[in-house]
Structure 1
């Protein structure tokens, strides 16, 4: 592993993971996918892209926003129930695993493009387990929305009784935050700063954060 990425990867100099299969061809496919994912993570780290750290509650709230947006787009003109029946069949078929790969890997392969497009509109980037958890909730919300729109298309205009299952949008107020001290510590590790220099800059950063009233680098300083 490149020396300038060791700190970013938690001090690890090697990355080991199970491919979850004994099939050589499938293992090769999974390896290429995993390798590309890791290289993308490294590239975006080195070029300043940050991944949001979301709680399960925030992930639910984010999926809820996707659900509400989908419903709003079709609420007045839901179309024909038969069309949504076909959409639900397509979604269920897309969720089915035809290869012996982990469920999260399958969902990522099948729905990551759609989920990432939604996240991009929200100004968010997710990775690893957080991305997998969101995609799982994203798919559930997508199916739930399609089921409700199908009812609307069939003439049942009652509200979705399960629409309130999502966490409230207020939970997302801190989504996408970039902790200033955490970023400094990462930089200090990579730059191998001396302890005296670290202590000095920590003090200055704390003073700055107290002055601006927050520690989020994603928020503009005014």
Structure 2
């Protein structure tokens, strides 16, 4: 069969169009088996690298296939380009200098308030346990990858391994010094001078500014696709999807103008257009649209974005917001709690759409006893409900932050028969049916189910428009947990809220601690 790279290939059996592109020979040995995410329509398709990379374009329409193929094909070619030109081997001096940046960041973050000696003893113990268990890569690897991303480097495997070791030593050195600080000893670290000054390697001209050199136009649409392809395995899918809407608006406003030629006045004019013509509130524009565009354009200024732009024209741009009058508290009131949970308890099984009935029956109760986001709950599968060490828990794998967490299941839910429902449901998703979800939809089925649960709650209960039918449970759970005397760090761990301090990041409450906290959470009495 002929390999078509310039146009989409149509599967003769299904009629679905595909992208097919041969992997460059000089990259095949290194990249074979790795995953690359390619933009296809409003979503991303993850495919493995082999002799040939093939990805479904998820359409049978020829015109749409050509459009999707152009974007996906370009993204894959850019992936090869970066892999060829961007891979670097770091010298010992560079590795030590990079670890010095981490040392300085850790020390600087808590220089004024270093905490207690016990905190740093705990930190040192965690590092030692990770090393002894052979899990140093899991423990330090994310910091290494974040640093390399920040510096716009793609290090080879050997350099990354050496950098993991060096940064672990830098972490330990910083922890030892901060422990002395916490004891009142602020003498300078005599070993701090071992870190040389970091000097970024000179960027490869082929990688740094490919578009400028070729004279290609950088439009809002093309820049977004580049950013999305680069961040497919780094950013949460919802973030990439959310930014798309902002860029669709920006692209419609700027048309085919080159982003290198726009100014802050152009960005401000778009924001005003978004407000006055498209009817978006200034608060949403400031909080969502300008943040999205600034983030992507800022990436394009940096090394990881190839220095496509020389400045970020969004910097300093914001619309004036009218003073927001808070109409009421964000937590549910007692009557609202009783109404929502009573309505959920009254839901009967429905053979026509059993998973939607199950979502209405159980998701409000699960949210009430966990503070989890509804979309985190609607993603649950039967295998995510399990027992560990005698504790019944749910694995929340799809979260807003991208960080999975485990949450003990409240005893009241077990008494109500939740485990029996899970067992009877069989394998697969508990609250949506994949067969009912069209492939062409850009919204994940779990997210769609969450929206439908919210719509049902609001319509059934007649909920106050000023309170969110789903998110209100997060505020309610945390408020009730506070009243029950559950510690803040345990409340944050259960709900998945990020901790506020560097020291707290080293505290990882055990499952037993979370279970004990959940036992203290009061029961809902209807």
Q: Fold match, TM over 0.5?
A: yes
Of 157, 174, 185, the match for 2:186: 157
- Structure 1 pair 62–82 and aligned structure 2 pair: CA distance change class (3 A): same
Task: Establish whether residue 75 from structure 1 lines up as the match of residue 111 from structure 2.
Answer: yes
C-alpha distance 37-167 of structure 1, shift in aligned 2 (>3 A): farther
Structure 1 ranges of 4+ moved more than 6 A: none
Q: Which runs of 5+ in 2 are unaligned?
A: 1-20, 37-47, 54-75, 211-304, 311-526
- 1:56 and 2:69 correspond: no
CA distance in 1, matches of 2:105, 2:24: 38
Q: Provide, for residues 89-112 of structure 1, a one-character-per-residue CA deviation record: whole Å limited to 9, x for no partner.
A: 1111111135xxxxxxx4323321
Q: Pick the structure with greater CA Rg.
A: 2
Structure 1 residues 32-181: aligned runs within 5 Å:
35-36=33-34, 45-46=79-80, 48=82, 50-97=86-133, 106-169=135-198, 172-174=199-201, 177-178=203-204, 180=206
Q: Which has the higher strand share?
A: 2
CA contact (8 A) 2:151 2:200 kept: no
Q: Is the 8 A contact 1:52 1:178 kept in 2?
A: no
The answer to whether 1:8 aligns with 2:44 is no
Inter-partner Cα distance in structure 2 for 1:167 and 1:119: 17
Deviations 1:30-86 (A, max 9, x none): xxxx9448968x978427453344222111111101101111111111011111111
2:512 corresponding residue in structure 1: none
Aligned residues: 154
Instruction: Report if aligned partners of 1:178, 1:218 keep a CA contact under 8 Å in 2.
Output: no
Q: Which has the higher helix share?
A: 1
1:134-175: per-residue Cα shift (whole Å, max 9, x none)? Answer: 111111111111111111001110011100111222xx2326
* Structure 1 stretches lacking a partner, 5+ long: 16-33, 99-105, 185-216
Give 3-state SS (helix, strand or coil) of 1:173's partner.
coil
Aligned partner of residue 23 in structure 2, secondary structure: helix
Query: For the aligned residues, what is the CA RMSD?
Result: 3.4
**Cα pair distance change 1:85/1:37, threshold 3 Å:** farther
Judged with a 3 Å threshold, the aligned counterparts in structure 2 of structure 1 residues 146 and 56 are, in CA distance, closer, same or farther, namely: same
**Structure 1 residues 115, 76: CA separation in 2 closer, same or farther (over 3 Å shift)?**
same
Superposition TM-score, scaled by structure 1 size: 0.57
- 89-98 vs 136-145, greater mean Cα deviation: 89-98
Matched residue SS, 2:87: coil
